[in-house]
Structure 1
Amino acid sequence: MSEFQVKQKQLTSHRLVQTPVIETIEKGQILLKVESFSFTANNITYGMMGDKLGYWQFFPPADNNDKQWGIIPVWGFALVTQSKAEGIEVGERLFGYFPPAQQVVMTPVNVSQQRLVDGSGHRAMLPPGYNSYKRLSGEKGYNPDLDNERMLLFPLHITSFCLWDRLQDNSWFDAQQVVVISASSKTSLGLGYALNDDVNAPHSVGLTSSGNMAFVQKVGVYDQVVSYNQMSDIDPNKPTVIVDMSGSADILAKLSAHLENNLTYCINVGLTHWDEFSAESAAESDRSEFFFAPGHIQKRIADWGPQGFEQRTIGFMAETAMKCRSWLEVKELNGLEDLAQAYSQVCEGKIPPEQGLIIKL
């Protein structure tokens, strides 16, 4: 058995650590075999924000006496191989937040037919959305044909939905155009689909690299596509809200200077350009925020109720995932060794935007 670890303060450093096979569990616990998971630039964001938002705490790493290493969580499927928890059967599958490792032990609480929560003590203070797991045996209309999209897109498109909801709930922050930085990212494209379907949405601009221009134009969800070296093509006279998926201090500074007083608000979300990130540029002010999707989700669950939230989001994610099938190329990797080989490409932004990595264990 092994697990994939990265160095917390130097994300490009990684290693595979051999771990003992877990053979026994305690009363109230379940043992899961991780079957498959996705790995995207979003996972690198988890690593970058590991200290600030608690991502390092979900899955304590093995062989970490020097406290330098961490486990980046991933979204995927796992099979229950042992159960000493009431109501959880061996052989059922869960979807949710797992370590890139072959095995994991959980302590189910708040068990319903549709879901369970991992009540392990070290996760008690972490965002509730990440501790909740879907029980596929209890899901109405579960479609295994959507498993790849569910791993690759659902965790990203829930953020896309929340961003669209945040924008329209605040009257687009009085803007007449929305500029999405790092427009080729899968979260950005999910937002693009939402804006494209919303008749009340302002003019949308996808800002991307020259190398990704053709791809973003082909997807066709933005009203205008502009490359980073042609920012002057963005109308500086329109009040503008920025949704920044890049985390690049340089790009954000140049765009802000171009828009001057017509920048009404900036929502900082992802870190596709994580190596260009500056905490100072992403600092919150009266005209900017760092967007934390789990916080928005909890707010809307309180507003709409769990069922109301699920009804609004599941339909959006399934519909958008189906639209993405026209361009999404799933690339399967076998085992953690293949992930270790591909990891540097993810860090360096060299995975083509149309490609999605699925790791099968």
Structure 2
Amino acid sequence: MSEFQVKQQHLTSHRVVETPHIDGIEEGQILLKVESFSFTANNITYGMMGDKLGYWQFFPPAENEDKQWGIIPVWGFAQVTHSKSNGIEVGERLFGYFPPAEQVVMTPKNVSPQRLVDGSAHRAMLPPGYNSYSRLSGEKGYNPEFDKERMLLFPLHITSFCLWDRLQDNNWFGATQVVVISASSKTSLGLGYALHADNSAPQSIGLTSSSNMPFVQKVGIYDQVVNYNQMSDIDASKPTVIVDMSGSADILTKLATHLGDNLTYCINVGLTHWDEFSADSATESDRSEFFFAPGHIQKRMKDWGPQGFEQRTTGFMAQTAMKCRSWLEVQELNGLEALSQVYGQVCAGKIPPDQGLIIKL
């Protein structure tokens, strides 16, 4: 058995560690074999925010006496291979948050036909949305043909939906244009699709690198596409809200300076340019926030009820995933060593925006 680890304070350092095969589990537990998972720039964000938001606590790493190593969580599918939990059968498949590892033990609680929660003690204080798993056997209309998009896009597009909802709920923060920084990221594109389909939305501007500009223009969902050297092309006379997926202090500072007093609000979300991230630039003010999707999800679950939330989001994510099929190219890799080979490219932002990586174990 093996698992993929990274150095918590030096994310580009990584290793595949051999771990003992798990045979025995305790009463109330289940043992799962991880089948497949996606790996995107979003996973690097989990690593960057590992201390601040608790991502390192989900899956404690093996062979970590010096406490330097951590496991970046991933979204994927796993199959139950051993069960000592009532009502959960061997062979059942789950979708949710897993380690990039071949096996994982969970302690199911709050079990319903549709889902379960991992009640393992070390996860008790972590965001509930990440501890919840879909039971595919109880999922109405489950279609395995969507498994790849579900891994690659659903975890990102749930954030896209929440951002759109946050903007809408605040009357676009008084803005007449929305600038999305790192417009080629899959979360940005999800938001772009939402804005494009919303007749009440302000004009959308996708800000991207010159190399990704042709791709973003081809997708055709932003009203204007501008590269990082053309920021002066953005109309600074209009009230503007920024949604920043990059985390680059340099880009954000230049854009904020260009917009001046017409910058009404800034929502900091992702870290596609994680190596340019500055904790000082991410501090919140009365005109900015660090957006944490699980917090917004919890709020809307209270407002709409779990079913209401699920109805709204599932429809959005399915429609948006279908639209992405026109450009998304899925690359399947076999094994954790294959992830190890491409991990540096993901960190460096070298994976083309129209590609999605799936690791099969």
Using the size of structure 1 for normalisation, the TM-score is: 1.00
- SS, match of residue 22 in structure 2: coil
C-alpha distance in 2 between matches for 1:133 and 1:100: 16
- The Cα offsets for residues 172-207 of structure 1, whole Å up to 9 and x where unpaired, read as 000000000000000000000000000000000000
2:312 corresponds to which residue? 312
- SS, match of residue 210 in structure 1: coil
Displacement over 3 Å in runs of 4+: none
- The Cα offsets for residues 220-250 of structure 1, whole Å up to 9 and x where unpaired, read as 1100000000000000000000000000000
1:254 corresponds to which residue? 254
C-alpha distance in 2 between matches for 1:319 and 1:140: 17
C-alpha distance in 2 between matches for 1:15 and 1:214: 35
2:128 corresponds to which residue? 128
1:336 corresponds to which residue? 336
Match status 1:109 vs 2:109? yes
Aligned-pair CA distance for 1:272: 0.1
- SS, match of residue 256 in structure 2: helix
Aligned-pair CA distance for 1:139: 0.3
Aligned-pair CA distance for 1:28: 0.1
Aligned-pair CA distance for 1:109: 0.0
- The Cα offsets for residues 275-297 of structure 1, whole Å up to 9 and x where unpaired, read as 00001111100000000000000
C-alpha distance in 2 between matches for 1:221 and 1:191: 10
Aligned-pair CA distance for 1:171: 0.2
Match status 1:82 vs 2:57? no
RMSD, matched Cα: 0.2
1:145 corresponds to which residue? 145
1:193 corresponds to which residue? 193
2:41 corresponds to which residue? 41
Aligned-pair CA distance for 1:79: 0.2
Residue pairs, 1:5-20, within 5 angstroms: 5-20=5-20
C-alpha distance in 2 between matches for 1:306 and 1:338: 38
C-alpha distance in 2 between matches for 1:88 and 1:228: 51
C-alpha distance in 1 between matches for 2:281 and 2:177: 21
Letter in 1 for 2:195: L
- SS, match of residue 212 in structure 2: helix
Match status 1:225 vs 2:225? yes
Letter in 1 for 2:238: K
- Structure 1: state its 5+ residue gaps: none
Letter in 1 for 2:121: G
C-alpha distance in 2 between matches for 1:49 and 1:282: 11
Letter in 2 for 1:314: T
1:92 corresponds to which residue? 92
Letter in 1 for 2:332: E
C-alpha distance in 2 between matches for 1:283 and 1:237: 26
C-alpha distance in 2 between matches for 1:55 and 1:87: 29
Query: How many residues end up aligned between the 2 structures?
Result: 361
